[in-house]
Structure 1
Amino acid sequence: MTETLLVTGASGQLGRGVIHHLLDTLKVSPARIIATTRNPANLADLAARGIAIRRADFDDTASLVEAFTGADRVLIISTDELALQGKRLKQHQTAVAAAKTAGVSHLLYTSMPNPEPGSPVLFAGDHYGTEQAIKASGIPYTIFRNGWYQENLFMSLPHAIASGQWYTSAADGRIAHGARDDMAAAIAAGLASGATESTTYTLTGPQAHTVAEIAALVTDVTGKPIEVIQLSDEALTEGLKAAGVPEGFAPIIVSFDTNTRSGRINMVTDTIETLSGKKPQPLKQFLEANKAVLAG
């Protein structure tokens, strides 16, 4: 198989993880891989391994068309543009149109679980709109609906461990957090598979937990008790802002808890193992591996 595989956002954590698995796990020839980023200098280490590095700016259509030209399978990793509402969706739509113009044969995209209208997550519409643009393009596709990363817990756990209190509005909702690297391995396998049919996968960790169950696991690992305090969405938003979370970002964080409480992220799938051949890392293993970072 000689298809050329392109990864956008290759300087980010997920992008680098995907390329690592292409090279080192799947043994894909570097000559078949194209890595793109806004600043190619950030990928000098990948260039040294023989990977083609191209500039791709999601705000510059011409750069995307040029970057995608000659690539058979293109993985669009969703951008991190959240500050300006609507900008990320526009970036993604521009990338899909560029892939069409460049003659890409298969388009892959990193979305989120249940992004359909009605999702409480404030940026879900970016993902749903991108999925719709991909389907409308007529290009065969693979959509990876990535569940929440175990690494996302770095946003809340260090403070909860230090203070002994974890404020949440998630109630008894469950999340099967998955390791970012496990998702990268599954995505790399899908990118390198050569599969031509259009498919949507949901990637999760191996077990779904409530906030109280996660707190119990953390206490078991660190020896530090955590009291889970349930708040309303409004009270949690105000508390986050009082703690220094930027006013525009606090509602986004709270929308995750609303989403959890509503049961829209409680699914558990075996897709990571099916695609990568590797069992995903349990949450307790992640906590043990990061005990020093979490507990300060």
Structure 2
Amino acid sequence: MKITVTGATGHLGRLVVAALLEQVPAERVAAVVRTRDRAVDLAALGVEVRVADYDEPDSLAGAFRPGERVLFISGSEVGRRVPQHGAVVDAAAAAGVGLLAYTGILGGPEADFLLADEHKATEQLVLGSGLPYVFLRNGWYHENYTEHLATVLDHGAVLGSAGGGRISSAARADYAAAAVAVLTGEGHEGRAYELSGDTAWSFEEYAAEVARQSGTPVRYRELPPHEHRQVLVGAGLPEPLADVLVDVDAAVSRGLLAGTTGELSRLIGRPTAPLAEAVAAGLAAARPAEAATRHP
């Protein structure tokens, strides 16, 4: 039985493929990618590479095979994902895949913020397809924040409008491990997993951890939502994306991303990676020469 990963050259997809290859032979893994050139390394390992684009339904006709298990990683183009995802679900249904695992968002139907809308619509498309499914409702990634530490260090501030809200994030690698557990295990069909880190943190605590590890004064600066939006747009973000991010902080302030269900650690069989580890990695990437002389 083949295991197929869509978006296999993205940040999460590459981690999933790497973790799969630790458990199953390469000939049992297929990678669906938009551009073959980006998957040369995967092909060299023996992974079957299939080229398809969420925006081109005809290309998806060859993306899947009957009976195989598929990890459907959600697209990254906010505002375009419902038709993109619908094309993937249609192709998977036409192929008769044996299991479709979709990476949604923490809270599922109860998530009442903008970024969740397309995920909720996609879950309905999956349910309507009649396919055997698993919903992997991923919480926030540590890396959503720690990959931008160069800017934080330059300004000495973490900016946001989340108040004292908390976030139960986990490392991308933890979510990848959970996907692999589902794809290679049994008894997951029809389940919806609410996946999040073991410990929730506030932006004040995050800023303090960055300051501790970097030796640089960093604080959390709370902004009114309209000012937060202005800062994001001024930094070059498209206005619709700025709206989404400010709305996410509003969701954080309401406690919608603070849940610590324990389902992620149970699936992967270990505690989730602490935020401090991601901060250390982010600092190493932001200021590698300085990081070489520091210890977290």
Q: After TM superposition, is the score higher than 0.5?
A: yes
1:55 to 33, 36, 51: 51
Q: TM-score, normalised by structure 1?
A: 0.91
One-letter amino acid of the counterpart of residue 32, structure 2: T
2:29 to 26, 33, 37: 33
Q: CA deviation at 1:118?
A: 6.2
One-letter amino acid of the counterpart of residue 80, structure 1: S
| Residue equivalent to 1:91 | 84
Q: CA deviation at 1:233?
A: 1.0
Tell me the secondary structure at the aligned position of residue 7 of structure 1: strand
Q: 1:196 to 1:170 in 2, by over 3 A?
A: closer
| Residue equivalent to 1:238 | 230
| Residue equivalent to 1:70 | 66
| Residue equivalent to 1:134 | 126
Tell me the secondary structure at the aligned position of residue 216 of structure 2: coil
Q: 1:63 to 1:246 in 2, by over 3 A?
A: closer
Q: CA deviation at 1:295?
A: 5.1
How far apart are the structure 2 equivalents of 1:248 and 1:167?
19
The answer as to whether partners of 1:14 and 1:181 remain within 8 angstroms in 2 is: yes
2:75 to 76, 79, 87: 79
One-letter amino acid of the counterpart of residue 45, structure 2: R
How far apart are the structure 2 equivalents of 1:156 and 1:46?
28
| Residue equivalent to 1:11 | 9
Q: Percent identity?
A: 37
Q: 1:117 to 1:186 in 2, by over 3 A?
A: closer
How far apart are the structure 2 equivalents of 1:189 and 1:171?
35
1:269 to 242, 257, 261: 261
| Residue equivalent to 2:175 | 183
Q: Deviations over 1:160-187 (max 9, x none)?
A: 3222222211001100121101111111
Tell me the secondary structure at the aligned position of residue 152 of structure 1: helix
Q: Counterparts in 2 of 1:94-173, with a 5 A limit?
A: 94-116=87-109, 119-120=112-113, 122-154=114-146, 156-173=148-165
Tell me the secondary structure at the aligned position of residue 229 of structure 1: strand
How far apart are the structure 1 equivalents of 2:197 and 2:223?
26
Q: Counterparts in 2 of 1:188-267, with a 5 A limit?
A: 188-195=180-187, 197-267=189-259
2:19 to 18, 21, 45: 21
The answer as to whether partners of 1:4 and 1:72 remain within 8 angstroms in 2 is: yes
The answer as to whether partners of 1:5 and 1:71 remain within 8 angstroms in 2 is: no
Q: Deviations over 1:49-98 (max 9, x none)?
A: 1111111221222322321123511111001122xx3x211111111111
Q: Deviations over 1:96-130 (max 9, x none)?
A: 1111111112110111112437622x231110000
Q: TM-score, normalised by structure 2?
A: 0.91
Aligned length: 288
What stretches of structure 2 of length at least 5 have no aligned partner? 289-296
Tell me the secondary structure at the aligned position of residue 63 of structure 2: helix
Q: CA deviation at 1:227?
A: 2.5
Q: 1:10 to 1:156 in 2, by over 3 A?
A: closer
How far apart are the structure 1 equivalents of 2:194 and 2:188?
18
One-letter amino acid of the counterpart of residue 117, structure 2: G
Q: CA deviation at 1:42?
A: 1.6
What stretches of structure 1 of length at least 5 have no aligned partner? none
- Larger displacement relative to structure 2 (267-276 or 179-188): 267-276
The answer as to whether partners of 1:15 and 1:77 remain within 8 angstroms in 2 is: yes
The answer as to whether partners of 1:117 and 1:125 remain within 8 angstroms in 2 is: no
